Chain A
Amino acid sequence: MTTPDSATALKSTNAAGFGDRVGSAWLGWRQRRAARHAQQEIFYRHTIPVRVLHWINAICLAIMFMSGLQIFNAHPALYWGRYSDFDHPALWLTSETDAQGHLRGITQIGTSRFDTTGVLGASDVDGQMTQRGFPDWVTLPGPQWLAMGRLWHFFFAWIFVINGLLFVAYALWTRHFQRDLLPLKSDLRHLGRDIIDHIRLRFPKGEAAKHYNVLQKIAYFSVVFILGPLVVLTGLTMSPTMDSVFPFLLWVFGGRQSARTIHFICAFSFLGFFIVHIVMVMLAGPWNEIRSMITGRYAIDPAETNHGA
């Protein structure tokens, strides 16, 4: 027979059991975490200047990429050479009306045409399919507004360039460049092993985690010292005033329209770097990685060999 009292007692016993289980699981997790932390070494990975310059650069790149797409949308075609050969664009985001009267977005690369409705060539603007190079959710500002896109782009271009020069000066001055970024001959010797480790998603531990591996060095070195200068110089080559000062830039890049095309390729190379960068942060432990770029502190797991010893 179940009295109201015994029912209450039963319920409370159950509740206490569940609470205990949660409590002990929590305690167990805390203990394991503490044990792991006891083995971890906290390494001061990024100095304050590097962290500040990194985040300013991240903001600049995001704004310059999106405002750059806004500027591109004013004439969504790329050419190779000195001038625009309108009949032979290298890339053209355009649109056409199909038999049903619907607007289709077309991406033309060389002479190949692809239907990219909804994203490239034609996309939704306020519920209406509209001819537009890139869609309004990747451009800055969203609506078609070349003058405003240019204001954003050229304001943040200054910050990007000054920030980049400060980083290069700092990295050379403190030997961060020579020590951490410049790929050395000795690095290149284990390029093959590093590639295999990356593919197997085996991230370095212990002492090895304190240094960039050769793939990281190559990636950071080429973004800072090749892609960065290239995007700035091709940008300057598009300026008619700067062409009067540095006409050799036109010769180097094969003309203003080629420079514009290279500038576009650089922008998407930055996007490619960003995607790989974010994926690696996620795989290597997002909290630890992001914290290391905010507070500078990076937790390193002990190397496998320590366990054996």
Chain B
Amino acid sequence: MAHDRRNFLARAAAGAGALVLSACKGPSETTWFPKVLDSAEGLTRRVQRLFAGPKTLAPEFTKADISSFFKANGTLNPGTDAYNTAVANNFRDWQISVGGLVEHPLKLSVAELRAMPSRNQITRHDCVEGWSCIGEWTGAPLKNILALAAPRANARYVVFYCADPMSSDPTDPQFYYESLDLIEACHPQTILAYDMNGAPLTVPHGAPVRLRCERQLGYKHAKYVQRLELVESFDHINGGNGGYWEDNGYTWWAGI
């Protein structure tokens, strides 16, 4: 009897659960409903920008606050032949090109990047999953690099192309990419970082160069950066949403 009742209760609970589930799963899998939900992204971005403006700084911490273990997420090693070769010769031939809507396209080696004025910052890295780690980053402010390339008046976004393939299919490697608008790209704490906690970036953390944009969530902080392109719109790039995770349903605005 008790067993029957438990069975019934379990089945009733499962039935109620399935009902809730089907009600909740439904709208998420339509094409129109997520678009309605996503309309809040523009509002969030505008209101956050209204408060934050171009210059408010992400909190910076002291060396005592640095996480003893900084979790590496996403790609831990691009593992391509080209990348393995670059690792083997200590990224001597690694070049970061800046092109697209600029007056002076340019290429920078890691040594040239290191020779530029640098910024050092101890900041908190917030993953979209919910965890945080604090680390020290050294790199060249992106604003200075963009100034060298002289963006044209119609340039609105910087797209970062990376060396890590997100797909194991060699015919469609889907290299990681991300984008920032010029406000976030020219923010004082937005740097192309080459050192972490006082030592050159390790492979899991994006060697030789990764992006740090401290007012945004972790997926914006592209690792293994190879190429910067200034564009007016990212509609024509890959899925058209401005980044690998954005093409997979995440919001382009990663301030929350």
Seen from chain A, the residues whose Cβ lies within 8 Å of a Cβ on chain B are 66, 71-72, 74-75, 77, 79, 82-87, 136-137, 140-143, 145-148, 150-152, 154-155, 157-158, 238-245, 247, 250, 256-257, 260
Contact = CB atoms under 8 A, between A and B. Distances in A.
B254 to A, nearest CB: 8
A155 B37 CA distance: 5
A86 B127 CA distance: 14
Contacts of B39: 155
A257 B57 CA distance: 19
Interface in B13-57: 13-14, 17-18, 20-21, 24-25, 28-29, 34, 36-41, 43-44, 48, 51-52, 56-57
27 contacts: A82-B124, A83-B65, A83-B133, A85-B67, A137-B14, A142-B21, A145-B28, A147-B248, A147-B250, A150-B128, A150-B251, A151-B251, A152-B28, A154-B37, A154-B41, A154-B256, A155-B38, A155-B40, A239-B255, A239-B256, A240-B216, A242-B48, A242-B51, A244-B52, A244-B58, A245-B51, A256-B126
Interface of B: 13-14, 17-18, 20-21, 24-25, 28-29, 34, 36-41, 43-44, 48, 51-52, 56-59, 61, 65, 67, 69, 71, 124, 126-134, 214-217, 245, 248-251, 255-256
A140 to B, nearest CB: 5
A241 to B, nearest CB: 3
Contacts of A247: 59
A240 to B, nearest CB: 5
A140 B129 CA distance: 16
Contacts of B24: 66, 140-142
A257 B133 CA distance: 10
Contacts of A155: 36-40
Given A137-B13, A240-B217, A240-B255, 5 more contacts: A79-B131, A142-B25, A151-B40, A242-B255, A256-B132
Given A151-B38, A241-B52, A241-B215, A143 B127 contact: no
Given A86-B69, A142-B24, A250-B59, A260 B37 contact: no
Those 3 A-B pairs whose CB atoms lie nearest each other, nearest first:
A241-B255, A137-B17, A147-B249
B20 to A, nearest CB: 6
Contact of A136 (B13, B21, B214): B21
Given A72-B130, A154-B41, A239-B48, A82 B65 contact: yes
Contacts of B38: 151, 155
A243 B48 CA distance: 11
Contact of B128 (A66, A74, A158, A244): A74
Contacts of A86: 69, 71, 131
A148 B215 contact: no
Given A142-B25, A257-B132, A241 B48 contact: yes
Contacts of B256: 154, 238-242
A73 B37 CA distance: 20
